[in-house]
Amino acid sequence: MLNYNKKLPDGASDWVVTEENFQTLALGKCEAVMALGNGYMGLRSAAEESYVGEKRNLFVNGTFNRFDEFEVSELPNAADVTGLDIRVDGKRFTLEQGEITEYSRSLNLRDAELVRSFIWTNAEGKKLEFTFRRFVSLDRLHLIGMKLDIKSLSGSVKVSIASGIDAQVSNSGSQHFHEGEKRIYDKKYLELIQTTTESKVDFVIGAAHRLKLDGQEIENSPAMEIDRRKVAVAYSVDLQEGQSLSFEKVATVHTSRDLAYAQDYSLPAMREHALGDLKSVYAAGYDALFQDHASAWAKVWNEYGITIESKNSFDLLALRFALYHMVVMTPAHDRRMGIGAKGLSGEGYKGHSFWDTEIFILPFYIYSNPKTARSLLEYRYLGLEGARRKAKENGYAGAMYPWEAAWPSDGEVTPVWGAVDIVTGEQTKIWSGFIEQHITSDIVYAVWHYYRATGDEDFMERYGYEMIFDTAIFWASRLEWDEAEGRYEINEVVGPDEYKEHVDNNAFTNYMAHFNIELAMQYYSKLETERPELFKHYDELLNLKEARKVWESKLDLIYLPQPNENRIIPQDDTYLQKEIIDLTPYKDQEKVGSIFNDYNLDQVGNMQISKQADIMMLFFLLENKFAPEVKLANYEYYEEKTLHDSSLSLSTHSILASDFGDKELAYHLFKRAAEIDLGPKIHSSDAGIHAASLGGIWECVVMGFAGVRMLDGQLHLAPKLPDHWEKLSFPLHWQGKPLEISITPQQISITNTASEPVQLFVNGELQVVQDTAIF
Ligand code: BGC
């Protein structure tokens, strides 16, 4: 459906995602896959003219609002600035009528510009050439730039364009804003001010237009309109054959959640600043603004410069696509914000952060941009407040992280009701917010991973140790003593495999809780001997000495499920006793979750069916704890029973397949992971792109094919390139040292640009690299 072979004008390839035919069925997919953003805001790429089935979304990170007490807080869909009502000789322009030729809509990943162009002939035979351009500026975080060029190819036509700021939008019906205030200054600068209903976040959105006829700016006094939740202007221009109209629009977005207003905020001051900003970007104009934006992207690609030389050029494009979306969804500018499971590209998962960030996306930042990794972890530090509240509300001590997180202090925001239960006809209850508890140790795992890979003591002293200690306090209070077995258990949970609810002793959860407590004990001893003052501080804050006694008494008694006689580790206490059915009809279907057309969740819960990697994830995270033959036996056992109905599954399986040396399988699974958003399934991305899967694509390449791992604080590299790859090179930050790794089937080259040597294991052998070394 999408084409990936288009070249850029300078001949560069593997940068462009193109839709070559207009089809309303693909509206959602293109809107999400081609979404724009800069971490501050995300703009779904709906067409300028509207279509039934479209989703127009503009999200500003961190601006969560709760519609009412029956809903959880979500990122509100802000007023739309992209819609244009275009009329040709008085009739509404739409691609559903007339004849379209030379159609293409492309996202250029290199400079993050969306371009849509075609020739359109209307029912009266008038032929017009349209080119729409759009970007969300990476260097000016508050700016959206748009441009439309229309050329008359036959005779004279009257073109009218109505454009403005349209707040007649909602989140699938939930209206997060008050009506607000609207104004037009100097017949040119449009302003809309709205406040979210519950969180009271003020938004100031501005827009201004510039028209040029054959390159000459025209003064065109527009018709002005202010209506309910709407402010707009309308322009009309007569075009002779061969003449071109260029219509530029700049829009600015500011909110009281902006970091600039964290300490000192007043609406009049923001309003004044926003108007000044709008005037200044208007003065600069689309082309100059776009150049600055493109230069900012050039720097990004330079910094993340990962390349693949492969016989299949899709591999590199898919990797760039993943990096592009990680950049546009990550709030690198503000540690009070996390990454949504759909980034900022759709209403799916309400903008909430899950373990997706720590386990799937964070590794990319740890090794490519440690500063951003730290900011994302600080978001979780700020979340301790909500985590402590959640623990208390559930009768536990310490910090119990929310399964879904929004604004750091919000605490648990997982919705309670989900999809239809085909047996009862009622909504299925979502248990994750109550009992999917592994998120707490996943976050701690990420803290540890970051620390061991970067050596960032400052982070640990300010934030990391506290997170590790307080979560260990939670786990210790969560453990349940089983008198008969003489062990501590964790019962009544959901593990990563969400098709098994209310299970006892999910192996992943138990092992990770054990890891969390063990780590806390290790750092307890370290601080006690090496940093007595810091130790005292945490002891006073968290009563560490008492906590340590409890950890010590419980750690070795935590039940860690062991392999059975067939080397299979039970995923939970009852999984292996459940019925096995043939899953072929439900695997790799057009729509995930096809099993629910035949069974409800309770029935699926009683069969050996897994939604996603569970034990496999455990093998990936705590790989030293399990023997290779155990991993392989479990892979073979569980893969058959895994539907990969979550996008968090395939990449983990691909990495493990790389570890087993099965290059063909690893590549096959990598490709399937890459196709979650880019592949032919037309509705797979309707609710937004799959953020974790995109992080997973990077992980497949760097942690799978290049075999990069942090094991016991040491860097390892053990490449297993797919057979059709000639080269893989990527930057890697290790302990503050920027390395350049380049791998071919024949050799591994490592360049260390720091003055200090770096120590790492290459294919299991310890090496010391200063400057460049070849292996
Ligand atoms: C998966 C979770 C994931 C969530 C958000 C669910 O379908 O089962 O593991 O965190 O989606 O991506």
In the chain, the amino acid numbered 117 is S
For 351-369, the pLDDT digits (tens) are: 999 999 999 999 999 999 9
Q: Which of 31, 358, 498, 699 is catalytic?
A: 498
How far is 465 from 398, CA to CA, in rounded Å?
Answer: 13
8-state DSSP, 610 = B
The dihedrals phi and psi of 231, each to the nearest 5 degrees, come to -140, 130
Q: For residue 754, what are the contacts with CB-CB under 8 A and spacing of at least 6?
A: 736, 737, 738
Q: To test ligand 1's pocket by mutation, which of 356, 506, 611 has the most ligand atoms within 8 angstroms of CB? A: 356
87 sits in which H/E element:
strand 84-88
Q: Is 699 a catalytic residue?
A: no
Q: Is 44 helix (H, G, I), strand (E, B) or coil?
A: coil
Q: Whose CA is nearest to atom 1 of ligand 1?
A: 646
- Cα→Cα distances 228→168, 175, 194, 251, 587, Å: 8, 13, 12, 20, 48
Residue 364 CA to residue 323 CA, distance in Å, equals 9
Please report, as a single letter, which amino acid is at residue 454.
T
Q: What is the whole-number distance in angstroms between the Cα of residue 540 and the centre of ligand 1?
A: 37
Counting every residue, how long is the chain?
Answer: 775
3-state secondary structure of 532: helix
Residue 582 pLDDT:
95
Closest ligand 1 atom, residue 498 Cα: 8
User: Taking Cα atoms as reference points, which of 251, 27, 220, 229 lies closest to residue 136?
Assistant: 251
Q: How far is the CA of 654 from the centre of ligand 1 (A)?
A: 18
**38 touches 31 (CB < 8 A):** no
Q: Measured between alpha carbons, how far is 15 from 297 in angstroms, rounded to an integer?
A: 13
Structure tokens at 659: 């570890």
Question: Which one, of 376, 375, 369, 321, lies nearest residue 698 by Cα?
Answer: 321
Give the closest residue to 700 by CA, choosing from 723, 667, 661: 667
Q: Are 278 and 309 in contact (CB under 8 A)?
A: no
User: Nearest residue CA, atom 11 of ligand 1?
Assistant: 646
Annotated binding site: which residue ranges? 355-356, 611-612
* Interval between CA 167 and ligand 1 midpoint (Å): 31
pLDDT at 221: 86
The closest alpha carbon to 210, from 142, 139, 288, belongs to 288
> Hey, is 203 helix, strand or coil?
strand
State both tokens at 505.
């002793």
Q: What residue's CA is closest to ligand 1, atom 7?
A: 646
The answer to whether 366 and 718 have CB atoms below 8 angstroms apart is: no
Residues in contact with ligand 1 (CB, 6 Å cut-off): 341, 349, 354-356, 496, 498, 611-612, 646, 648, 692
| Local structure of 373: helix, strand or coil | helix
Q: Whose CA is nearest to atom 5 of ligand 1?
A: 341
Low-confidence ranges of the chain (pLDDT < 70): none
DSSP string, 714-757: EEEE-----TTEEEEEEEEEETTEEEEEEE-SS-EEEEE-SSS-
Structural Rg of the chain based on CA atoms = 27
Task: Look at residue 305 in the predicted model and tell me its pLDDT.
Answer: 86
Quote the ligand 1 centre to 646 CA distance (angstroms).
6
The closest residue, in CA terms, to atom 6 on ligand 1 is: 646
First-residue to last-residue Cα distance in the chain: 42
Ligand 1 atom at minimum distance from 648 CA: 9
The two structure tokens encoding residue 198: 């519950």
Ligand 1 center–CA 648 separation, angstroms: 7
Report the nearest atom of ligand 1 relative to the CA of 342. 12
pLDDT at residue number 220? 72
pLDDT at 679: 93
Q: Mutation test of ligand 1: which of 494, 498, 508 has the most ligand atoms closer than 8 Å to its C-beta?
A: 498
CA 349 to the chain's CA centroid: 11
For 101, the token pair is 């030729």
Q: Which residues contact 368 (CB under 8 A, 6 or more apart)?
A: 303, 304, 731, 732, 733
How high is the pLDDT of residue 588?
85
Residue 109, pLDDT score = 98
Q: Domains of the chain, with CATH numbers?
A: 34-303 (2.70.98.40)
Looking at the CA of residue 646, tell me the nearest atom of ligand 1: 7
Q: Please give the distance, rounded to the nearest whole angstrom, from the Cα atom of residue 352 to the centre of ligand 1.
A: 11
Q: Which of 324, 292, 253, 317 shows the shortest CA–CA distance to 32?
A: 324
CA 233 vs CA 107, 166, 179, 711: distances in Å? 28, 11, 19, 60
d(CA 202, CA 268): 11
Pairing mode, strands 127-136 and 143-152: antiparallel
Separation CA 517–CA 592 (nearest Å): 36
The atom of ligand 1 lying closest to the CA of 611 is: 8
Q: Which tokens belong to 617?
A: 């994830």
Mind giving me the DSSP string for 73-84?
-B---PPB---E
Q: Distance (Å, rounded) from C-alpha 354 to C-alpha 359?
A: 9
Annotated binding site for substrate: 355-356, 611-612
Closest of 454, 613, 448, 615 to residue 515, by C-alpha? 448
Residue 50 in 3-state DSSP? coil
SS (H, E, C) 444-511: HHHHHHHHHHHCCHHHHHHHHHHHHHHHHHHHHHHCEEECCCCEEECCCECCCCCCCCCECCCHHHHH
Per-residue pLDDT at 344:
98
